[in-house]
């Protein structure tokens, strides 16, 4: 039972354009959402998060949008840069101690 789903395994975007990565979840108990970025042979690194009391959170080029009624969140990167090429994982927490559930990841390639 995949509670956090990233249905696009890969995405290619031209440098300077917007990258939009999507994530859907099924567990209505999730109340905190995160995006992690992962380069090959490294562990995931925290990128941005959002609480369920908000519908948008912005940090520089990165914005996360949350649509609770649709159980959907998205990460927007604008403008995209070649250094953004990585695997992006969506993750969700249910208000417990800190346990998070990860999606399967989307590999983003930003083409120069």
Backbone conformation region of residue 74, classed left if phi is above 0, alpha if psi is from -120 to 50, else beta: beta
Instruction: Select from 11-19, 53-61, 66-74, 101-109 the region that touches other proteins (CB under 8 A).
Output: 101-109
Q: How far apart are CA 60 and CA 52, in angstroms?
A: 20
Nearer to other proteins, 30 or 85 (CB): 30
Q: Which of 42, 38, 68 is nearest to 55 (CA)?
A: 68
Position 62 contacts other proteins (CB under 8 A): no
Please say whether the beta carbons of 110 and 82 come within 8 A. Answer: yes
Nearest approach in angstroms of CB 99 to other proteins is: 6
Sole binder of other proteins in the list 41, 53, 69, 83 (CB under 8 A): 41
Please say whether the beta carbons of 55 and 66 come within 8 A. Answer: yes
Position 44 contacts other proteins (CB under 8 A): yes
- Binding footprint of other proteins on the chain (CB under 8 A): 4, 32, 34, 36, 41-46, 49, 89, 91, 93, 97-105
């Amino acid at each position: 039972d995949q509670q956090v789903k990233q249905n696009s395994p890969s995405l290619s975007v031209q440098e300077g354009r917007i990258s939009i990565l999507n994530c859907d979840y099924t567990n209505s108990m999730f109340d905190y959402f995160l995006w992690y970025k992962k380069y090959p042979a490294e562990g995931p690194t925290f990128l941005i998060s959002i609480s369920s009391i908000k519908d948008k959170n912005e940090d520089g080029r990165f914005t996360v949008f949350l649509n609770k009624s649709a159980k959907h969140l998205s990460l927007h990167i604008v403008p995209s840069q070649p250094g953004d090429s990585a695997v992006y994982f969506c993750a969700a927490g249910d208000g417990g101690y800190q346990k998070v559930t990860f999606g399967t990841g989307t590999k983003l390639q930003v083409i120069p």
